[in-house]
Homo-oligomer: A and B are copies of this chain.
Amino acid sequence: MTQAIARTTDNKLKPTFTKLVSKEGSAEYPLKAIHICEETFAPLEVAYDYDAIKAQVSRESIAAGPNSIWRYKAFLPVESENPIDVGTGMTPLVKSTRLARRLGLKNLYIKNDAVNMPTLSFKDRVVSVALTRARELGFTTVSCASTGNLANSTAAIAAHAGLDCCVFIPSDLEAGKVLGTLIYNPTVMAVKGNYDQVNRLCCEVGNTYGWGFVNINLRPYYSEGSKTLGFEVAEQLGWKLPDHIVAPLASGSLFTKIYKGFQEFVKVGLVDDKAVRFSGAQAEGCSPIAQAFREGRDFVTPVKPNTIAKSIAIGNPADGMYALDIARKTNGNIESVTDAEIIEGIKLLAETEGIFTETAGGTTVAVLKKLVEAGKIDPEESTVVYITGNGLKTQEAVQGYISEPLIIEPKLDSFERALERSRTLDRLEWQQVLV
């Protein structure tokens, strides 16, 4: 590369992000903790100087970077030379054999954020970016409205970075998600209400206190972290885009940012342009975007959530209509599945691939299956399914739906009787299947 790389006077790489822009209209804003356009009330988005990015990065420079999301730092809205890096990102892209065979797919890949660091969900990506930016903007207390995973991540990474932390969650969350927040010793406000009520309260608090809410006033920076789920897949596929992706839809933000990530890689010449189909997954008990898709609407009507998939149960999704638009224009689909199908999705992924995901991942796998069965995914398409969180956090969801251990005495004959019993049961089950 012969182009000169822009540097600041102290020889640091110049930041590549330039301003905040409205997602509707042409209003521009400075790079502060603001998230909504004053004119149109549309969300704000970070804008970049793509020529500057192009001058800074190459496939080789990225591959030689840290083994974390920070290898893509030129595409992320932070200035720090030393962003908060707890090893987040670069989770495996597993080429599926057994799940692919079960579903009749030939080129299925699983992006496994169930083992993301440090708190086992994709939220570690957005929080690493948001808290780095929060520090740059001078915040000393960070906060969030969360369905659980985000609270885990904010509390953990704030602890690591030495920031004060106060998180807001609905009071009926799964025990693992509550404990997995409290252990980092933040202040935890358990709100008697659903996520949308928690979110509204946080907006009020955000207006009153000088706190950095990662998914409210820091949202433009925060949400950019999800682009790394696009970048990594492209890099891990050998600097190629897939034919089709299937991802869960909560607020819709993740979906739109994977799309943005792919587009940015094309824009700076890291991958060739191609059509990628975007399909989204919702739980039937909270499926406002899937309903709008089905009914051909371009607006999303809020619903009251009632599903075991609590981490994606957002009844009033902020980026719902942008997700709708992407699914439609890429020739994708948005589907929903029942709670029973979600549990089957969790079990199917565990039994075939050895990956234990939470309810959101079960939703995504179940929707993948449904789309394949409906002929909406071609068996030859290279398809990436995004698994966004870990099953150890939502153990309640599968309890009572999986087999029990065989209790035995520490003696060979006790073991043999139990083994015989279990084999007879297996045979009986098979006979019932065959009858």
Contacts and interface: CB of A to CB of B under 8 A. Distances in A.
A105 B115 CA distance: 30
A410 B160 contact: no
Nearest to A88: B92
A67 to B, nearest CB: 7
A387 to B, nearest CB: 11
A22 B404 CA distance: 40
With most chain B CB atoms within 10 A of its CB, the pick from A118, A178, A404, A411 is A118
Interface string A124-154: 0000000000000000000000000000000
A117 B175 CA distance: 23
Interface residues of A, number: 82
A187 B406 contact: yes
Contact of A179 (B92, B352, B395, B408): B395
B406 A190 contact: yes
**Complex copy number for this chain:** 2
A263 to B, nearest CB: 26
30 contacts: A86-B354, A98-B159, A115-B118, A119-B356, A120-B390, A156-B350, A156-B355, A159-B350, A159-B354, A171-B407, A176-B392, A179-B399, A179-B402, A182-B403, A182-B404, A182-B405, A184-B350, A185-B347, A185-B351, A187-B406, A189-B415, A189-B418, A190-B405, A191-B408, A192-B407, A192-B409, A201-B411, A208-B412, A390-B392, A392-B392
Interface of A: 67, 86-87, 90-92, 94, 97-98, 112, 114-120, 155-162, 166, 169, 171, 175-176, 178-180, 182-185, 187-193, 197-198, 200-201, 204-205, 208, 346-347, 350-356, 390-393, 395, 398-399, 402-412, 415, 418-419, 422
